[in-house]
Amino acid sequence: MPEQEELRKLQFTGKSSFIVSLPKEWIKEHGLKQGDQVVVGRNGSSVLEIKPTGIKKSINQESVTITISNNDNEESVLRKLIALYFLHHQTIHIKPKGNRITPGQRNTIRSAVKNVLMGAEIISDSTEGITIQILINVVGLSVDGAFKRMLHLAKSMQDDVLLALKEGNSELAQQVIDTDDDVDRFGFYIIRQLTIAIENEHMLQEMGFSKSRDCLGYRVIVKNIERLADHAERMARDVIEFKKPINTRTSEKLKELSDYTLKLIDDSCLAMFKQDTTGAEITISNISKIAKLEKKVLDTIKSVKNEEEVYRIRKIIENLRRISEYASDISEIVLNTNIEKMIKKK
């Protein structure tokens, strides 16, 4: 976002006070009015900063209405609802195009509000439509805080699914599948906040971003963690489908491979939080070790004649390999977003 500078004259008022006018566009952008308070602070010896005391109308709090027909299937309704959530409307009205919302559509909306859209509550539900309000405080849960919780859940899913594979534990596998909704909730919340930050400079600074384009990199990183959880869910469905444990020797090597992929994810995310380009480069170079760990797993099934088990293990290896690729993607984003700093230092 380019910085704009204007010359303003100091005016003397009273006996000892100086005043300066503020740009009208800035006032409108932050939804300020006469009598509102702003924060004035010193930044160094010669710079004063003026900030709004809170996020007001600069964040789109208007309501929006969407009309759905009986021909809209549940997946279509869910996609539209999530899209509106990303646009950070505070109130969403869902109206039927025909006589009423179908039972399937109503159940989808209710499930989304309960399990997918963080901070959403249904405040009105009738034959004429459903009204959803987003009640979450935009500064109550930071983007970094939400991301750390999301990462923790995704890693826990992978640890649990490796145990479920070893034991053939369908109940534990189902718990892994259910946890994926929680990961998605945090992911959607972060995307909503990033959308707000892109359109609001004050929020951008509050979230710790120096430029709007940094939000794009963060968005890709969030998507990679969502995919980490998705792979755990796929492996959990394998447990439920085949209802057989993986042999002990193979499961031990799979656990070794899984632990290493999670270490790569941890290292890449740590590099992101610290903006550590050196750490990011080390993580990328360490990904090559995955091949040796994969070979250790494959060596355990050379004498296995059960083609079904061999197929399952190869699919699990493929899922774990993709997770290491996500660690590489995150590290590359850290390098890309910090390349300008590296050039300046040189």
DSSP strand pairing (120-126 vs 129-134): antiparallel
Closest residue by Cα to residue 89 from 129, 62, 57: 62
Q: How far apart are CA 300 and CA 50, in angstroms?
A: 64
Closest residue by Cα to residue 246 from 304, 189, 184: 304
Q: Sign of the C-alpha dihedral, residues 245, 248, 254, 259?
A: positive
Report the length, in residues, of the chain. 346
Q: How far apart are CA 99 and CA 38, in angstroms?
A: 49
201 to 193, 214, 289: CA distances (angstroms): 12, 13, 42
227 to 151, 180, 234, 339: CA distances (angstroms): 11, 10, 10, 26
Amino acid letter for position 51: K
Q: How far apart are CA 178 and CA 107, in angstroms?
A: 17
CB neighbour burial string for 203-227, b if at least 16 within 10 angstroms, e if fewer? bbebbebeeeebbebbbebbebbbb
Amino acid letter for position 144: D
For residue 123, list its beta bridge partners: none
Residue 283: predicted pLDDT: 94
Q: What is the enclosing helix (H) or strand (E) of 118?
A: none
Global pTM reads 0.73
User: What is the chain's pLDDT, residue by residue, as a tens digit (346 residues)?
Assistant: 344 567 888 887 766 778 888 888 888 777 788 888 888 876 555 678 787 775 444 444 578 888 988 888 999 999 999 888 888 778 899 998 877 888 888 899 999 988 888 888 899 888 778 999 887 654 567 888 889 999 999 999 999 999 999 999 999 999 999 999 899 989 999 988 888 888 777 777 777 777 777 788 888 899 999 999 999 999 999 999 988 898 899 999 999 999 999 999 999 999 998 889 999 999 999 999 999 999 999 999 888 788 888 999 999 999 999 999 999 999 999 988 877 666 655 5
Spell out the residues 6+ positions from residue 250 whose beta carbon is closer than 8 angstroms to its own.
Answer: 297, 300, 301, 313
For 51, the 3-state DSSP assignment is: strand
